[in-house]
Structure 1
Amino acid sequence: MSASSLHLLFSTCPDADSADRIAQALLDERLAACVTQLPGAQSLYRWNGAIERSTEVQLLIKTWDDCLPDAIARLQALHPYELPEAVAVQASAGLPAYLDWVRAETRKEF
């Protein structure tokens, strides 16, 4: 992981309540600058030997590299799923002012 970079952390939730709870905690704890919730996502996946289909809320969590491990740990602790999706992708580029904003909003207050 290279220093000083934005990451998009992807996850899904079974409902709006759990998505809101996770988003609010990540924002309150400054582990994310923004959490976009996309309701109505259709997920098909293999689980316990069967193919499952679920309607979920897709979360797009904008965080910074030094917050990423804590954001993933907090997501897992709050998540109702036994094995939540937690996949991070490093941004290769972005509007400099937006990147600065994400960095400022995820900076720990001293």
Structure 2
Amino acid sequence: MVIVTTATEAEALSLANQLVAEYLAACVQILPIQSIYRWQGAIHCDPEWQLLIKTRFALFDQVRDRLLALHSYEVPEIIALPLIAGSSAYLNWVKEQTQEPSGG
């Protein structure tokens, strides 16, 4: 699972649609969140939208590169968390809905 945040719901929807359309994600869930963080020496508190991207581990580099190309943030949060277990039916569905990773 890859986690990304955006400043607007519109950007979150755009990124999610692009990743699913390109078979880089099987599903993207979008949640409103509140973030408190330090940026350029100041503490900020802003609403954001969090994307939970369900994809194959082997596609992380492609997902990351696509997000970096499309994202509006100078330094977007793009992190991957391992799924250590899940129902085989769901995990198979994720695999079926995503492309085979491209080599190199």
Does TM, scored on the shorter chain, surpass 0.5? Answer: yes
Q: What are structure 1's unaligned runs of at least 5 residues?
A: 1-7
Q: Does 1:22 align with 2:24?
A: no
Question: Helix, strand or coil: the match of 1:46?
Answer: strand
1:96 aligns with: 88
Equivalent residue letter for 1:86? I
Runs of 4+ aligned structure 1 residues displaced above 6 Å come to none
- C-alpha RMSD of the superposition: 0.8
Aligned residues: 100
Aligned-residue offset at 1:107: 2.4
Q: Secondary structure of 1:35's match?
A: strand
Cα distance in 2 for partners of 1:64, 1:19 equals 20
The corresponding residue for 1:78 is: 70
Report the residue type matching 1:101 in the other structure.
W
- Counterpart of 2:6 (choices 1, 13, 16) is 13
| Letter of the structure 1 residue corresponding to residue 51 of structure 2 | L
Give the Å deviation of 1:19.
0.5
Q: TM-score, normalised by structure 2?
A: 0.93
Alignment of 1:42-53 (within 5 A): 42-53=34-45
Residue 34 of structure 1 corresponds to 27
Which of residues 54, 57, 66 in structure 1 aligns to 2:46? 54
Give the letter for the 1:33 counterpart.
A
Percent identical: 45
